[in-house]
Structure 1
Amino acid sequence: MSDDQLVGEREGFAPWLLEPMRRNKDIYIKVTLAAVLINIFALTSSLFTMVVYDRVLPNNATSSLVALSIGFALIVIFDFILKMLRSYFVDVAGARIDREVGESVFDRLLNIRLDRKRGSTGALAGIVREQETLRDFFTSATLSAVVDVPFILLTMVVIAIIGGWLVLVPIVLVPLVILVGIVTQPAMERLATRAMSHALHKQSVLVETIGGLETVKTAGASPILTGRWLRSIEDNSDISLRQRLIANIGITASQSAQMVSFAAVVVVGVEMIANRTLTMGGLIACSILAGRAVAPLGTIAQLLSRITATRTAYRQLNHLMQGRPEGPDGDPLRLAKVAGKIEFRNVHFRYPGTPEKALENINFTINPGEHVALIGRVGSGKTTIAKLLLGLYEPEEGVILLDGTDIRQLDPVDLRRKIASVMQDTLLLSGSVRENIALGREEIDDPAMLEASELAGTHQFIGQIANGYDRRLADRGEGLSGGQRQSIVIARALAAKPPVLVFDEPSSGMDTQTENGLIERLDAELKERTFIVITHRTPFLRLTSRVILMDRGKVLMDGPRDAVLDKINPARVAKS
């Protein structure tokens, strides 16, 4: 995406929100038509009162009163139906927009480039959660109130027809109320931005605490997190108090304007009645209409804080949506068949925000079906190589090729189907064991899942349980040992029979017997597949024929397994 395109998107309304609104324009047209009729019907109460006072009472016209009452009752019924329909249409449109926007936001979240990711996990989750603020705007009374505002002019026209110069009262008061709202908006905007920042920090503390609750308890981290949580609450409370105070200025101003409007119309109307330029019924009708002319502004003032919060949420989400997703700018390539040849050519890489390079001038080629081990000190760049190969980050310089094609041209999702991985963090999703292995992939049926489970050793402990593969796992697989979680993740990687496998410390949580059993089963399974293992455990080296020794982001040695192991000092190959 070019810079010009980005500027164009920033200047206009974001397409990820505008397009769903356009697709629901028919519903919003219905809402507008309903609003027109509702506001016209709202005039009938004042007109009804005027006719009763000016025509019915002086002439004791009971039959006319009955006819007027029947007509008024019919209008009330239609008004009720229209208001219900308007509310229904707004809710339907809001639900549709919420689904479409939610799908777009979640898709962008899944495709976010890790080198462009900013803030903590909790802060990012908080930004995505701001979609609810947009949904509340489109499904609440806010939209109805905005639609009602233009009809203030219609109300003033009716006042002018009935009461003549009495219309000057709302003409003076309405701009004053609007002016109060305009004056308070900059402060509301600043406070909404600060409130968002504090809310994201509070969300970050909460997610960090819940996600690592076990570690928080064992490490004794409760005091520091409690302090952060209380500071977040205090900051949020302070900002919320200021927001409510400023919002109350507009609300109170509109309420006072309604009282002044009613009283001023009565005072001026008395003089007009004395001069016989206005009837008693006209005065009552104008006083009712004057209050109605100011009333929508009261609703708007009450909802200004919500509108401000909506704009702030929109900006946060728009910043996320405008970020360049991972993958190529054009149509991505999808390789029909992968032999498994991997090449790193002059690859340099540094993590965002760090001055030191994590990888420097990395060059090696792994041929199809070759089994290679990456070993080295902690922080030597082994895991970084795996992340670059999986397309999680892009190299700063150089190129990474899969079967002769730069992986930056490939569809990232398709790439990770061809290169299955087991990373150090064994993340399991909430759901059943079956769901954690298959991950919704249609090509993985029960026989494929069972075969992968037997290879990974999962079947040894899951197959003995009555509801084994349907057992529901808690968040991150709590209740399972580290080795059991690793076993399920390995089964997940093996299930689709990918041509390339990347294992990063796959047996760090397993005992020696379980590890040896896994290695024996993998020995036959990995034939004719490209296999890369990052490990500090000697048994896993039996599966490899080549070793690459890393240190400080560089390749120190690369050659046949036994030759490299004979040359290096064992103490130098530290645990990673």
Structure 2
Amino acid sequence: MNELLRRLFRSKPLAVEIVIASLFVNILFLASPIFVIQILSRYIGYGFDGTLYTLTAGMLIALVLGMGFNVVRTKMCAAVSAEPDRQLQAAVLDALSQLKTAALDRIPQAKIQEVMAAPQTVQGAYEASRIASVLDMPFFVLFFLAVFFLSPVLAIVTLLAVIMTMIAGKMNMNRSRSVDSTMREVLVQHRGGVNSAIHGAETVRAYHGGSFLRSIWMGQVEKLAELRERIVVQKSWSLAIVQGLNSLLKVAIYAVGAKQVVMGELSVGSLIGASILSAKTLQISTSFMQSVLMMGKANDAMRMINEFIGLPREASGGTAMKQYSGRLEFKDVAIAFPGATGPLFESLNYSIEPGSVVGILGANGAGKTTLSKLVVGLLDPGRGQILADGVDLRQLAPEWWRRQIMYLPQEPTFLNGSYKENITLLNPDIDDAKLNEVVRLADLRRFLDSSATGMETFVKEGGHNLPLGIRKRLALARALVGQGRIAVFDEPTEGLDVEGAEAVFQVMNLLAKQGVTLFVVSRDPNIIKGFGSVIDLNSKPIPKVGVIQKKTAAPEQGASMKS
């Protein structure tokens, strides 16, 4: 209820208007039982047509006014949730784009998908009809008192039916939340398996993984089927109880009321009016419990959302230098991952001058990509500092720092958009001449010209369907658009053909001549020959750093790196 009150009183004037509209909607409903009572007691008793016309006209007016207030109230209730729903969706999307990479990497993809869908659960719980049903609940007293005014005995019968309905609703709510929680956990596991099958389609086929997946999926599917069956049974029982109590209430009202009519304690018109009022009382309480159940599910979704958006984020502000030279310094840098027996590396101390060509060497799993991500600012060191022109990266504005870097990851990924939109992310306003030069340097022109839509070709599934060599070229072009003072290339020639590798050599040679600091992870001998100094991560736990010996040195910095 706290969330409903928060939404409702965001605009106090609107809340007051909704309450007033609810008052009129419920008061105007009283016209129906009053009409029945008056028709049966006055018109049938006296037979005066003027009474019939007057009562009918009044009833029609009440119906029209009731419909009008209902429509107006529904629109206002919808307005109550419009902005909070938009803000909630925006908060989840902002968190997805701003959470620290390390925090996001610890969450299974299927769980993230569930979090992204959670705002729809919240929206469904706070839609206009749900809000209206909660606001109708206080008027339960109005209809109960109306029944009590006609017959205290029938009021007690009505109250008993309402209490039974609310007890049944509360029990159903508790069972439903337990089953829903288990259902979400199993669905996350199932979606994770499905995602692995989609991304590993070749593995499934080449290594006969279908039977392995099927054995896992069948267990999950059977569990999901069992849970769905339990939900169906719960819903059927809940519906049966509500319908049964509704029918039982009618039977009890007419049975007890008929006895009162025979005894002269109640008129026939009052009996029918009491039946209408008692049914309305039960309907209000039933709708209220259903809305509370939905809002309970929404609260679970909100807790999941709040946990997600409460994860560590990248800084939204920070320092932005007027000019960055390209100098980088590691001071006692160490990093370790949760669950590891020790640090990946530690006590890394090294100063890199602007325009240097620094190589990162190490075996698989030594931490080469991790070190690259530390430089880009995608990860934070567990200890120590990384300084750019003497300023700690954690004090710099992340958006500004990323614009100083030309980053080519080992496994490039893209957003669902056109090639042009992906390439120009760091500089959407780049002119066509510079963009064409970037495309030429990345050796993309032939590939783009082979497509009917060229740069406007749409990237699907994050580019996973594209060959690695094309993804590397697109990522190289994307990096070059930034025109930063430091280039971080992680295995830049991996997966490239001869022409693609040659393009990388030329780009690195050009950047070296321009005085850009090159920070390169590579096992390519032709690139290694161009390193001026290296950070050797094979040395554990403290990496070895220094200038390459003359016998293995490449041509002087800025020289050609051709194969």
Amino acid at match of 2:362: G
Quick one: distance in 2 between partners of 1:55 and 1:285? Answer: 14
- Deviation readout 1:359-413 (Å, 9 max, x if unpaired): 2221111112212111121111111111122222222221221221111222323
Within the candidate set 486, 489, 500, 1:514 is matched to 500
Return 319-328 or 290-299, whichever deviates more.
319-328
Find the counterpart in structure 2 of residue 57 from structure 1.
Answer: 44
SS at match of 1:269: helix
SS at match of 1:151: helix
Within the candidate set 234, 253, 263, 1:246 is matched to 234
| TM-score normalised by the chain length of structure 2 | 0.90
Residues 481-560 of structure 1: pairs in structure 2 closer than 5 A: 481-526=467-512, 527-551=514-538, 553-554=540-541, 556-560=543-547
Kindly indicate whether the alpha-carbon contact (under 8 Å) linking 1:250 and 1:301 is maintained by their aligned counterparts in 2: no
Amino acid at match of 1:46: P
SS at match of 2:384: strand
Find the counterpart in structure 1 of residue 461 from structure 2.
Answer: 475
Find the counterpart in structure 2 of residue 9 from structure 1.
Answer: none
Kindly indicate whether the alpha-carbon contact (under 8 Å) linking 2:443 and 2:499 is maintained by their aligned counterparts in 1: no
Quick one: distance in 2 between partners of 1:490 and 1:561? Answer: 26
Kindly indicate whether the alpha-carbon contact (under 8 Å) linking 2:403 and 2:426 is maintained by their aligned counterparts in 1: no
Find the counterpart in structure 1 of residue 63 from structure 2.
Answer: 76
Within the candidate set 429, 440, 464, 1:454 is matched to 440
Quick one: distance in 1 between partners of 2:9 and 2:90? Answer: 16
- Deviation readout 1:450-505 (Å, 9 max, x if unpaired): 22222222224224645311122322325532111101101101102111110101
Find the counterpart in structure 1 of residue 386 from structure 2.
Answer: 400
> Gaps spanning 5+ residues in structure 1: where?
1-11, 568-576
SS at match of 2:364: coil
SS at match of 1:472: coil
Find the counterpart in structure 2 of residue 104 from structure 1.
Answer: 91
Find the counterpart in structure 2 of residue 48 from structure 1.
Answer: 35
Identity of aligned residues (%): 24
Quick one: distance in 1 between partners of 2:427 and 2:39? Answer: 73
Return 475-484 or 154-163, whichever deviates more.
475-484
Quick one: distance in 2 between partners of 1:398 and 1:150? Answer: 61
Find the counterpart in structure 1 of residue 278 from structure 2.
Answer: 290
SS at match of 2:330: strand
Q: 1:171 to 1:255 in 2, by over 3 A?
A: same
| TM-score normalised by the chain length of structure 1 | 0.88
Aligned CA RMSD, in angstroms, stands at: 2.7
- How many Å apart are 1:72 and its aligned residue? 1.3
Kindly indicate whether the alpha-carbon contact (under 8 Å) linking 1:500 and 1:530 is maintained by their aligned counterparts in 2: yes
Kindly indicate whether the alpha-carbon contact (under 8 Å) linking 2:125 and 2:291 is maintained by their aligned counterparts in 1: no
Residues 277-426 of structure 1: pairs in structure 2 closer than 5 A: 277-303=265-291, 305-327=293-315, 331-426=317-412
Kindly indicate whether the alpha-carbon contact (under 8 Å) linking 1:455 and 1:521 is maintained by their aligned counterparts in 2: yes
- How many Å apart are 1:223 and its aligned residue? 2.5
Matched, 1:201 2:186: no
Return 129-138 or 450-459, whichever deviates more.
450-459
Within the candidate set 45, 53, 68, 1:66 is matched to 53
Return 550-559 or 454-463, whichever deviates more.
550-559
Kindly indicate whether the alpha-carbon contact (under 8 Å) linking 2:442 and 2:473 is maintained by their aligned counterparts in 1: yes
Amino acid at match of 2:232: R
Kindly indicate whether the alpha-carbon contact (under 8 Å) linking 2:488 and 2:519 is maintained by their aligned counterparts in 1: yes
Amino acid at match of 2:537: M
SS at match of 1:547: strand
- How many Å apart are 1:27 and its aligned residue? 4.6
Quick one: distance in 2 between partners of 1:446 and 1:28? Answer: 53
- How many Å apart are 1:28 and its aligned residue? 4.8
- Deviation readout 1:80-130 (Å, 9 max, x if unpaired): 233333333334443433221111111112222333344311221112211
Find the counterpart in structure 2 of residue 573 from structure 1.
Answer: none
Q: 1:164 to 1:20 in 2, by over 3 A?
A: closer
Q: 1:136 to 1:510 in 2, by over 3 A?
A: same
Kindly indicate whether the alpha-carbon contact (under 8 Å) linking 1:247 and 1:302 is maintained by their aligned counterparts in 2: no
- How many Å apart are 1:210 and its aligned residue? 2.5
SS at match of 1:532: strand
Return 526-535 or 172-181, whichever deviates more.
172-181
Amino acid at match of 2:65: F
> Gaps spanning 5+ residues in structure 2: where?
555-563
The count of aligned residue pairs is 552
Within the candidate set 166, 169, 176, 2:164 is matched to 176
Find the counterpart in structure 2 of residue 225 from structure 1.
Answer: 213
Amino acid at match of 1:136: G
Q: 1:166 to 1:480 in 2, by over 3 A?
A: closer
Kindly indicate whether the alpha-carbon contact (under 8 Å) linking 1:545 and 1:560 is maintained by their aligned counterparts in 2: yes
Quick one: distance in 1 between partners of 2:463 and 2:522? Answer: 23
Kindly indicate whether the alpha-carbon contact (under 8 Å) linking 1:262 and 1:288 is maintained by their aligned counterparts in 2: no
Quick one: distance in 2 between partners of 1:405 and 1:133? Answer: 45
Return 127-136 or 318-327, whichever deviates more.
318-327
Q: 1:560 to 1:184 in 2, by over 3 A?
A: same
- Deviation readout 1:265-305 (Å, 9 max, x if unpaired): 22222333234332211111001111111112333444565
Find the counterpart in structure 2 of residue 37 from structure 1.
Answer: 24
Kindly indicate whether the alpha-carbon contact (under 8 Å) linking 2:335 and 2:346 is maintained by their aligned counterparts in 1: yes
Quick one: distance in 2 between partners of 1:24 and 1:236? Answer: 42
Q: 1:250 to 1:36 in 2, by over 3 A?
A: farther
Kindly indicate whether the alpha-carbon contact (under 8 Å) linking 2:169 and 2:238 is maintained by their aligned counterparts in 1: yes
Q: 1:552 to 1:562 in 2, by over 3 A?
A: closer
Amino acid at match of 1:547: V
